[in-house]
């Protein structure tokens, strides 16, 4: 028994020693010292460090720690008051509100220089909204000057983002014309017009080209010259609460506008407002076609459909409209020339099994994925697949294919549609509507991965899709071409600390499976190359920054950025973990639109974006984890993907909620070891 105990102790010592081989305490690359306490720090999506102290807001260079700029007027501002303006190098600072006003006072600060582009306090303006114009690199700000309702009118300001120069101001665009009516009716119309005068846009402005934009007011569609603010045309629409502008590649020179309206009578989605005296309203969507040069209406009357405005798709043979509802809405096709609806019996549309959330055009028809909130069970939303025959105007499958879990992704393969949900992976035969595999690759229904917004861990290349099933503890390889799958490993994979693999990454010699505290590599032949576990710190907040850093890197990887951020935000909102809850808003700030192909950065900011985008192409050879130290306290460790060994560590002392940030693109760690300094470690 003593011999066994000695052997166990020696083995434990050797194991600990082996995990520490190659580990070294990383030395700081630079340190910034402040005169007053640093209240918070933040890594901007362009890599700059923005820090706030009691004497100002600072912009810091990530390369050398030099203070690029300081704004003393923003000293001590709360972190929640600063957000990134998506697609730009601008920070929106909401620092206070005028007494008696619900409109925020905002300033826009260029993060690379600290230049204040816009200050609504100086303009004596409450900000309604701000909009980036990527093509022309301009910024449209809409606001209202305080005063009596009868004198309040929304004002439009256009700025050049690169120079910060104000291009024009328009105080008259949203002013309505005097109807001329007298008496009580005239007063009502005047009051209605006063309310409309201060309404903001009901949809994002759209750039037609570098010189023109189209904006949607509750009662108008307006085309402007973006450099001068000159009105090209202004067309009236039915009063709406939401709008979107579209152009079709099949019909040049036409502007299509989709709107959502609420009326006191009608059909479609209904809602009630008020207390005892409840007023019922009906929601419908209305569609218009205008000549892009003149604004002249091209249809004899607008096209209409019931329920909320949803997906609008420009197809070759018409406009596919897919309203949104918590019931079963009608989808339809609008004729480009006449505005007449064409699908279903007498053009009345097709009843779908829920609202359309995505589609794929295929040789077999238009594949649609729908979601339906079934109030008769406790499973909340249900997801279905079906195919629309665009010529016949009907659904191909009499019975839609019901999915297990939420649809995450899909791709067309020779055998049909390979789809991934939060619960299963399978292939849909597009011709018959049948599921190809008798047995799906599934996860355990009681697993955390089956929660809303969480996904099956997958990785893929051109030939294969790799999926981990926690139900069987197996990695499955799906052959995309053959449409079959096989298990990669035979021994069941299990992680310590009651964790499960939440991520798979394909590397040159196998697959990396990891969780917050575990990492494992499995070869393509199914053999386990290594498995390592690093004990978790007691405080969940310690891992928060690692989640944020991962989301920023994902946002730079391409067009999938917006999907990733949306999925992560959904996961955060449904999680009970404080560490994940704290991530939600930070991820949403400035990341969900990085997947766009157009941006409006200034010269310096664009250079930073380019550098970070290039850095995102290089997959790191390590992962970062927070773990406990041997004696006392916690440390941030750099773990090799090659063999699972510790490469470097950073001591974060005994802080229960240490202030640190990880930049997973530049491979920097920013840590505040004391109230007056920020230290950078370069990995």
The owner of tokens 């990530």 is 62
Of 125, 41, 130, 147, the closest CA to residue 92 belongs to 130
In a domain, 207, yes or no: no
Sign of CA dihedral 94, 97, 102, 104: negative
The rounded distance, in Å, linking the Cα atoms of 95 and 323 is 38
pLDDT tens per residue across span 454-508: 567 899 888 999 999 988 899 999 999 999 999 999 889 989 988 889 889 999 9
Alpha carbon separation from 151 to 157, 191, 195, 626 (Å, rounded):
18, 11, 11, 57
With respect to residue 603, please indicate whether it lies within any of the assigned structural domains.
Answer: yes
What pLDDT is attached to residue 14? Answer: 35
Q: What is the pLDDT of residue 587?
A: 37
Identify whether 498 is part of a domain. Answer: no
Cα–Cα distance measured from residue 65 to residue 28, given in angstroms and rounded to the nearest whole number: 11
Query: Are β-strands 138-144 and 126-133 bridged in parallel, bridged antiparallel, or unpaired?
Result: antiparallel
Those residues with Cβ within 8 angstroms of residue 440's Cβ, 6 or more apart along the chain or in another chain: 404, 424, 425, 426
- The answer to whether residue 27 sits within a structural domain is yes
Q: What is the mean pLDDT of each run of 10 residues along the chain (683 residues)?
A: 34 37 73 95 90 96 96 92 84 70 76 87 80 87 67 79 85 61 40 45 90 93 95 95 95 97 66 52 93 98 94 95 90 97 93 89 90 62 89 91 86 92 92 93 63 68 92 93 94 89 91 92 94 79 50 45 37 39 37 44 64 64 81 81 89 69 85 92 88
CA distance to 45, 384, 615, per residue, from 80 (Å): 16, 39, 29
Nearest to 406 by CA among 420, 417, 422: 422
What Rg do the C-alpha atoms of the chain give, in angstroms? 28
Nearest to 319 by CA among 296, 300, 302: 302
Q: Over the stretch 213-240, which tens digit does the pLDDT of each residue have?
A: 999 988 999 999 999 999 999 999 999 9
- Give the HSE-up count for residue 520: Cα atoms under 13 Å, Cβ half-sphere: 25
Query: For tokens 């990995």, what's the residue?
Result: 683
Placement of tokens 């055009």 in the chain: 361
Q: Cα separations (Å) of 86 from 46, 305, 411, 596?
A: 11, 33, 29, 10
Range of the domain at 629: 9-48+544-682
Question: Within a domain: residue 658?
Answer: yes
pLDDT value at residue 678: 94
The stretches of 21-156 forming alpha helices (DSSP H) are none
The answer to whether residues 544 and 506 touch, using CB atoms and an 8 Å cutoff, is no
Length in residues, the chain: 683
The domain total for the chain is: 1
To the question of pTM greater than 0.85 for the whole model, the response is no
Q: What is the model's pLDDT at position 528? A: 93
- Residue 354 in any domain: the answer is no
Q: Tokens representing 569?
A: 């935000």
- Whether 632 is in a domain gets the answer yes
* Residue 71 within a domain: no
Answer for the pair 231, 224: CB distance below 8 angstroms, yes or no.
yes
Distances (CA, A) of 500 to 15, 286, 384, 516, 583: 23, 48, 28, 9, 20
């Amino acid at each position: 028994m003593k011999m066994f105990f000695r052997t166990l102790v020696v083995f434990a010592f050797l194991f600990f020693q082996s995990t520490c081989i190659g580990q070294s305490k990383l030395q700081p690359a630079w340190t910034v010292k402040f005169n007053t306490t640093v209240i918070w720090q933040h890594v901007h999506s362009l890599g700059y460090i923005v820090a706030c102290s009691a004497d100002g807001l600072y912009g810091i260079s990530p390369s050398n720690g030099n203070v690029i700029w300081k704004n003393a007027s923003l000293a001590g501002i709360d972190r929640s008051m600063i957000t990134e303006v998506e697609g730009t190098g601008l920070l929106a600072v909401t620092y206070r509100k005028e007494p008696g006003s619900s409109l925020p006072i905002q300033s826009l600060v260029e993060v690379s220089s600290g230049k204040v582009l816009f200050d609504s306090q100086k303009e004596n303006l409450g900000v309604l909204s701000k909009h980036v114009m990527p093509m022309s690199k301009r910024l449209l700000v809409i606001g209202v000057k305080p005063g009596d309702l009868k004198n309040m009118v929304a004002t439009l300001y256009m700025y050049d983002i690169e120079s910060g120069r104000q291009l024009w101001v328009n105080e008259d665009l949203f002013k309505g014309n005097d109807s001329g009516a007298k008496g009580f009716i005239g007063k009502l119309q005047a009051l209605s017009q006063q309310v409309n005068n201060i309404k903001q846009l009901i949809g994002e402005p759209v750039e037609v080209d570098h010189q023109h934009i189209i904006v949607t007011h509750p009662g108008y569609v307006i085309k402007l010259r973006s450099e001068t603010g000159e009105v090209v045309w202004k067309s009236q629409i039915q009063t709406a609460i939401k709008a979107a502008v579209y152009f079709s590649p099949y019909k040049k020179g036409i502007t299509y506008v989709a709107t959502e309206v609420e009326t006191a009578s009608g059909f479609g989605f209904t809602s009630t407002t008020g207390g005892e005296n409840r007023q019922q309203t009906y929601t419908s969507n209305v569609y218009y076609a205008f000549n892009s040069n003149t604004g002249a209406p091209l249809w004899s009357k607008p096209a209409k459909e019931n329920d909320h405005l949803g997906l609008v798709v420009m197809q070759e043979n018409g406009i596919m409209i897919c309203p949104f509802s918590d019931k079963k809405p009608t989808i339809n096709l609008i004729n480009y020339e006449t505005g007449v609806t064409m699908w279903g019996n007498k053009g009345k549309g097709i009843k779908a099994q829920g609202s359309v959330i995505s589609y794929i055009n295929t040789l077999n028809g238009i594949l649609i994925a729908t979601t339906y909130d079934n109030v008769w069970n406790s499973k909340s939303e249900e997801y279905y697949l079906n195919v629309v025959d665009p010529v016949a105007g009907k659904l191909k499958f009499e019975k839609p294919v019901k999915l297990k879990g939420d649809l995450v992704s899909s791709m067309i393969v020779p055998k049909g549609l390979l789809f991934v949900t939060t619960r299963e992976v399978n292939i849909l035969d597009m011709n018959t509507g049948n599921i190809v595999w008798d047995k799906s690759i599934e996860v355990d229904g009681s697993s955390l991965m089956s929660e809303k917004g969480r996904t099956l861990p997958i990785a893929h290349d051109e030939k294969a899709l790799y999926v981990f099933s926690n139900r069987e503890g197996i990695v499955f390889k799906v052959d995309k071409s053959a449409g079959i799958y096989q298990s990669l490993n035979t021994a069941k994979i299990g992680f310590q600390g009651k964790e499960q693999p939440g991520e798979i990454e394909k590397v040159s010699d196998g697959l990396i499976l990891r969780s917050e505290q575990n990492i494992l590599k499995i070869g393509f032949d199914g053999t386990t190359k290594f498995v390592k576990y690093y004990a978790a710190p007691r405080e969940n907040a310690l891992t928060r920054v690692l989640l944020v850093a991962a989301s920023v890197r994902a946002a730079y990887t391409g067009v999938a950025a917006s999907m990733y951020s949306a999925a992560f935000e959904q996961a955060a909102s449904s999680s009970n973990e404080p560490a994940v809850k704290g991530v939600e808003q930070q991820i949403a700030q400035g990341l969900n639109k990085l997947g766009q192909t157009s941006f409006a950065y200034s010269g310096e900011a664009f250079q930073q974006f380019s550098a970070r985008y290039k850095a995102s192409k290089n997959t790191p050879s390590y992962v970062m984890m927070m773990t406990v130290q041997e004696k006392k306290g916690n440390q941030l460790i750099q773990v090799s993907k090659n063999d699972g060994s510790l490469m470097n560590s950073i001591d974060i002392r005994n802080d229960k909620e240490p202030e640190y940030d990880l930049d997973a693109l530049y491979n920097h760690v920013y840590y505040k070891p004391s109230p007056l300094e920020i230290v950078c470690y370069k990995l």
